[in-house]
Homo-oligomer: A and B are copies of this chain.
Amino acid sequence: MLVSCVAYQGGKRLTDIPINQTHEYLARPDCFVWVALKDPEPSELKALEGEFGLHELAVEDAGKGQQRPKVDEYGASIFVVLHVLEMSGSDITQGEVGVFVGPQYIISVRRGVSQGFSDVRARSEQEPQLLRHGPAYVLYALMDNVVDRYFPIIDHLTDEIADVEERIFSGNTSRGSIEALYGLKGKLLVLRHAASQLLEATGKLQGGRVPPICSGLQDYFRDVYDHLLRLNQAVDNLQDMVTTAISVNLSLLTIQESEVTKRLAAYAALIAVPTLVAGVYGMNFAHMPEIQWVFGYPLAMSIMIGVDVYLFFRFRKAGWL
């Protein structure tokens, strides 16, 4: 589905144009076309392939989706794939944006991304002095936006892990908190996957042999690169903490089990000791003076209760109960 197709000249928005009349604007100097698509039909992509002379393999990638984050050069133009992550409830959903960048056009194709990029367009149009850099600047703006969307996810996962920490250190680990740790591990892998491969791809745009179309904007792409590095570091730290939490949790469970054992043993003692006393007075010896006492029975009961009260406080003091 075509979201929009707009021509720009000298950094300023000219007008919305029909998708099949772009060649007219491409003929003008200092002019470029910015096309946004969402879950396009194969026919739409086919039409663009002809209109802009896109490479067959890149179009195939954008059509199929399921690509890894990457920057592929095809002659003077490049094809970039970005993973867009969004929280839906406590799950991470992953969408994809394929971006074709040529000297006079930028085409973004998003799939499975609920929140579009209209804010990128709006902000870019407010800074014509930057937008004058052309399609490569738009690519930077898109990447910057995609990377900025990763940070709230990091924050969400950081909160989740803090939550689990609190639960396990408070001393009652349930299956739930272990499942949460396992789920966190999975989500961090998704985030790491997206961020580390994008980092590698962005590296190609900020240093070394930069594609000609992006040269002059290395400082901007380095900025994105720095954000991704920081993000990767944060993901690494969280992964380390999750791994540590899992192994620490096992120790806590062992302590917890040990405490249960002690509590059970204490209760067992509270039953076993009076049972022993009762056993003693159940013996059939002919000569057991207490047996004949009028207060023998209450005395025995008092002994039982007395011992239990004593034990109860001993156990409580020792932290067993």
- Chain A contacts to B: CB under 8 angstroms: 55, 57, 61, 66-68, 70, 72, 74, 165, 169, 171, 173-175, 178-179, 181-182, 185-186, 189, 193, 197, 219-220, 222-223, 226, 229-230, 233, 237, 240-241, 243-258, 260-262, 264-265, 267-269, 271-276, 278-288, 290-297, 300-301, 304
Contact = CB atoms under 8 A, between A and B. Distances in A.
A264 B265 contact: yes
Contacts of A290: 285
A239 to B, nearest CB: 9
A286 B179 CA distance: 59
Given A57-B223, A248-B246, A283 B284 contact: yes
B222 A72 contact: yes
A294 B240 CA distance: 71
A251 to B, nearest CB: 5
A297 B67 CA distance: 80
28 contacts: A61-B223, A68-B226, A72-B226, A173-B255, A175-B255, A178-B251, A178-B255, A182-B245, A185-B241, A193-B233, A193-B237, A244-B246, A250-B251, A256-B258, A260-B261, A261-B261, A262-B264, A271-B272, A274-B280, A275-B276, A279-B282, A283-B297, A284-B284, A284-B288, A285-B293, A286-B296, A287-B295, A288-B297
A247 B268 CA distance: 32
A74 B292 CA distance: 103
B291 A286 contact: yes
A237 B189 contact: yes
Contact of A182 (B233, B248, B258, B280): B248
B178 A252 contact: yes
Contact of A253 (B186, B220, B255): B255
Contact of A226 (B67, B186, B189, B262): B67
A247 B295 CA distance: 59
Contacts of A229: 68, 197
B68 A233 contact: yes
Contacts of A271: 269, 272-273, 276
B280 A220 contact: no
Contacts of A254: 250, 253-254, 257
Nearest to A176: B169
A264 B261 contact: yes
